[in-house]
């Protein structure tokens, strides 16, 4: 005779087995996704090393940015370079809804979260930008955009900040994670290496 306790245990084991199968499938998909990311980043890294005077560096930076946004499921993002002479950040690569409008736009270093990261060289992960006093809504207002969440990392060589990469609004309104921040940091280093290499071949 099967008791209620045995039935309950059997039901629990069935449910646990289903849960573990679903969890294993999610982990398998994540591993496949990460492998794809690192293959892509590896190819970009090789391209950065092989930069020549004929290389279109801006196109390469655009590809690096796109790979970064795809890898962390961000809907929008940009890569900004420092204009030391004018003390500004320039949007040199943009992906997302306002790509064409935002390209070549400038903001002062120190303004907004991107400007703060450029000034202090500290990566930031922000779940809700409206709770952060550093956030400036100027770009959103000018270009009729809505920033919700943000990752922002410096592009730097040693202590010199050359620019920043920012990722905005993770898909499905999820929050960015520390893993996302690490991946974006790796991409920022790729961008820095590409810029350094481009400077050396143009001398």
Mean pLDDT (whole number) for 19-43: 71
Q: Which residue has better confidence, 197 or 41? A: 197
Amino acid 201: pLDDT = 74
This prediction has a pTM of 0.79
User: 31-40, 86-95, 173-182: lowest mean pLDDT where?
Assistant: 31-40
Q: Are 129 and 113 in contact (CB under 8 A)?
A: yes
- pLDDT greater than 90 at residue 10: no
User: C-alpha angle 152/158/163, rounded to 5°?
Assistant: 35
Q: Are 42 and 121 in contact (CB under 8 A)?
A: no
Q: Are 184 and 117 in contact (CB under 8 A)?
A: no
- pLDDT greater than 90 at residue 11: no
Q: What is the DSSP letter of 171?
A: G
Complete edge-to-edge strand list for the sheet that includes strand 150-157: 106-108, 88-95, 74-83, 160-170, 150-157, 124-126
Dihedral angle over CA of 79, 85, 88, 92, nearest 10: -30
**Interval 76-120: pLDDT, tens:** 999 999 999 999 999 999 999 888 899 999 999 999 999 999 999
Amino acid 198: pLDDT = 82
Q: Which residue has better confidence, 40 or 126? A: 126
Cα-flanking dihedrals φ and ψ of residue 110, to 5°?
Answer: 100, -15
- pLDDT greater than 80 at residue 53: no
Average pLDDT, the chain: 85
- Topology (CATH level 3) of domain 35-202: Beta-Lactamase (3.30.450)
């Amino acid at each position: 005779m099967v008791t209620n306790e045995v039935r309950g245990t059997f039901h629990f084991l069935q449910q646990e087995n289903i849960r573990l199968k679903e969890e294993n499938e999610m982990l398998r998909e994540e591993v496949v996704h990460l492998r794809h990311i690192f293959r892509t980043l590896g190819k970009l890294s090789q391209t950065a090393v092989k930069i020549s005077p004929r290389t279109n560096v801006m196109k390469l930076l655009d590809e690096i940015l796109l790979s970064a946004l795809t890898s962390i499921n961000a809907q929008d993002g940009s890569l900004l370079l420092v204009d030391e002479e004018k003390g500004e950040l320039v949007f040199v690569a943009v992906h997302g809804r306002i790509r064409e409008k935002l390209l070549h736009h400038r903001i002062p270093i120190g303004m907004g979260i991107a400007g703060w990261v450029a000034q202090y060289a500290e990566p930031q992960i922000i779940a809700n930008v409206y709770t952060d006093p550093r956030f400036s809504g100027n770009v959103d207002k000018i270009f009729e955009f809505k920033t919700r969440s943000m990752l922002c990392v410096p592009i730097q060589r040693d202590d010199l900040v050359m620019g920043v990469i920012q990722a905005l609004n993770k898909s499905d309104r999820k929050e960015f994670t520390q893993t996302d921040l690490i991946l974006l940091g790796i991409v920022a280093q790729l961008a820095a290496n590409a810029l350094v290499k481009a400077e050396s071949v143009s001398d």
